[in-house]
Structure formats: structure tokens, C-alpha cells
Amino acid sequence: MDTDFLEISNGQALSREQIPHLRFDDFQQNAMKIVWGGGKVVQYFGYADDSAVKLMAVLRTDKLLLVAGCDAPDEYPSFSNKCEPFQLFEREIAEQFGIVPKYHPWLKMVRYHPNSQGKEDVFGNDYTKDIPGNYPYYSV
């Protein structure tokens, strides 16, 4: 498959330095290309690296397991807006790191806690209250 993601084996241990670190736009384009081509999202997550937040995706096709990462922007055009399998992962990244996936089709929290970066809450919640007040409940 023609992609900038690294092909790995199931159970293979790698250091983060071995994983391709792409520009965000290239990361997003490659990830979407793999999933649109029939690939599956195994994992898409953020992690703190010193004072920065990084994103990493592990994707699979019928024959390949692929991985790459990038620096996380403060906001970005949502993958989910065009590719639904990323939706829950993007919601969790927004919740944990305060990173906004713009145009997400139904951005809501996964759990109820403030982000780890001390940023303004993506969901507008007041965590001094026990029950979420700004929750976009599904309506029919």
C-alpha cells in the first residue's frame, strides 16, 4: 500500500522514535486514504510528550498493520466528518486534551472530566457539578 505509515507486525515492540512522525496534513491524508481503501481504525489517540501533545494512529488492512504519528494542532478538520470510524477516538482526544475536531458530526464527551491540559473545555462543562449540563442528547 502506498502510504507514509510504517508497516508493523502484530505484537511488535517499537520505540516512538521508530514510528514515522508526519506533518498533520500528511498524517490525516494518509490515515483517510487507508480507511477509505477498506482499512480499519485499530487505535487513534493523543499522548503528552514533554510540553506537547502528539497524535498516533494504528490502522489495519486485510494484510497490514500500519502506524504513524504527528504533532497535535489545537484544532483540526474532523476526520469523522468524512470517515465515521474515527468518531469515538476524536471525541476522546477532545475530552482528554482539549483539542477541537472542527465539524465533527456529533461532538460530545465520552466520560465527564476536565482535560489534562488545563485548556478551556471543548464541551462547555462546569465540572463542579455532578451531572453534565451541556450534553447534546440525541433527539428524534
Instruction: Quick: pLDDT tens for 98-133.
Output: 999 999 998 888 888 888 888 888 888 888 877 766
DSSP 87: H
Instruction: Quick: pLDDT tens for 53-103.
Output: 999 999 999 989 999 999 999 999 999 999 999 999 999 999 999 999 999
What residues contact 83, with CB distance under 8 A and at least 6 apart? 32, 35, 36
Q: What is the CATH number of domain 6-102?
A: 3.30.460.80
What residues contact 63, with CB distance under 8 A and at least 6 apart? none
Task: Give me the residue spans of the domains in the chain.
Answer: 6-102
Contact 59, 80 (CB under 8 A): no
Q: Residues 55, 44, 120, CA angle at the centre, nearest 5°?
A: 60
- Sort 32 into a burial class: Cβ within 10 Å, 0-12 / 13-18 / 19+: middle
pTM value surpassing 0.85:
yes
